[in-house]
Structure 1
Amino acid sequence: MDIFRLIQDIKTHLKLSFDEVDKWFGKDKTILNYQPSNGGWTVQQILEHIYLTNFYLLILIEKGSKKAMRNYLDLDLNLEIKNYSFNQEKFEKIGEYGAFQWMRPEHMEPKGELNLTEIRSLVSQQYHQCLHYLDLMKNGEGLLCKTTMTVNELGKINVYEYIYFLSLHAQRHVTQMKNNELEIYNNP
């Protein structure tokens, strides 16, 4: 496994996902506040949900990165890299809106307590946090800690995969926001 290629691919995915999310903050109020016919969230609520989910995932990513760096002292990183293979297929469904059912925890549901400017700033900070962890674990150390991910039965995933999950989650909701916007234009 080329761990440096994996890290670079995750950085590229993060950039694309966060750039896509950022575009939605500039949409007009009609799009931001449109309540879809299926009773789902507005774009503004989706943006808040992305922030909240990132917030909680980054807690796990931070703990995982610290543990991975500690494990570096006791585990054979070269052996871990040699034996690692990234199963991208098992992650792809995470990025597809509606691909599976999952009830998110209540603390990840938007409550309307932050304005759009605050959310945008926080999401931008979260992007930079992800890059920081990837830079911190630039030699493959992120493989040295695994944590269980219950969403779509992913099981034990390493810190890099958690960051990739975070990026895919944002991608999933970009599709949801596009669906909201399309509904506005198709049902004037």
Structure 2
Amino acid sequence: MHLKLRFDEVDRWFEKDKEILNHQPANGGWTVQQVLEHIYLTNFYLLILIEKGSKKAMRNYLNLDLNSEIKNYSFDKEKFEEVGEHGAFEWIRPEHMEPKGELNSTEIRNLIILQYHQCLEYLELMKNGEGLLCKTTMTVSELGKINVYEYIYFLSLHSRRHLTQMKNNESETIKN
């Protein structure tokens, strides 16, 4: 549900007029168009990790005790929440996640829609809890080792973080 909500919210931004999409904020930050491209790029790289993790989790299913993993699993929601809060922490993103302006709005929108469907496919593949069977280190906000489901949740929270940024841009555009 969280995932669908976030993807739907991001998708609605593509319907904004060009003035809102291309407004350069006074603080020198990204335009909404650039933020949307950044969301796509971040999703792209996270989905590479999610794909690898899901494959490994499914392989691990043959050798690990899934019931034990499920029984012993606890989710620290508080630890994750700041990922979704714009400005909650400082993090220098890798250069490959910086918007370059090489894709138009329609291309970015279509790619983000495909990314949503990829997430759903991974969740369907790991519908019995298998995503718990593979953990990978996430350096952002010192999350440490997180499982494949948590990576998908991170992807969703990342979008929420930038939805706030886009709303701030839009408010500034309307004031001017």
Superposition TM-score, scaled by structure 2 size: 0.99
1:33-44 equivalence runs, <5 A: 33-44=22-33
Structure 1 residue runs of 4+, over 2 Å off?
Answer: none
Structure 1 Cα separation of the partners of residues 81 and 171 of structure 2: 23
Unaligned runs of 5+ in 2: none
The corresponding residue for 1:76 is: 65
Structure 2 Cα separation of the partners of residues 174 and 134 of structure 1: 23
Structure 2 Cα separation of the partners of residues 116 and 145 of structure 1: 35
Structure 1 Cα separation of the partners of residues 92 and 17 of structure 2: 29
Size of the aligned set, in residue pairs, is 176
Query: Structure 1 residue 155 and structure 2 residue 139: aligned?
Result: no
Structure 2 Cα separation of the partners of residues 169 and 132 of structure 1: 20
1:43-54 equivalence runs, <5 A: 43-54=32-43
Structure 1 Cα separation of the partners of residues 19 and 112 of structure 2: 22
Give a deviation string over 1:13-37, Cα, whole Å, max 9, x none.
Answer: 0100000000000000000000000
Query: Structure 1 residue 117 and structure 2 residue 110: aligned?
Result: no
The corresponding residue for 1:98 is: 87
Displacement of 1:185 after TM fit? 1.7
The percent of aligned pairs where both chains have the same amino acid is 81
Unaligned runs of 5+ in 1: 1-11
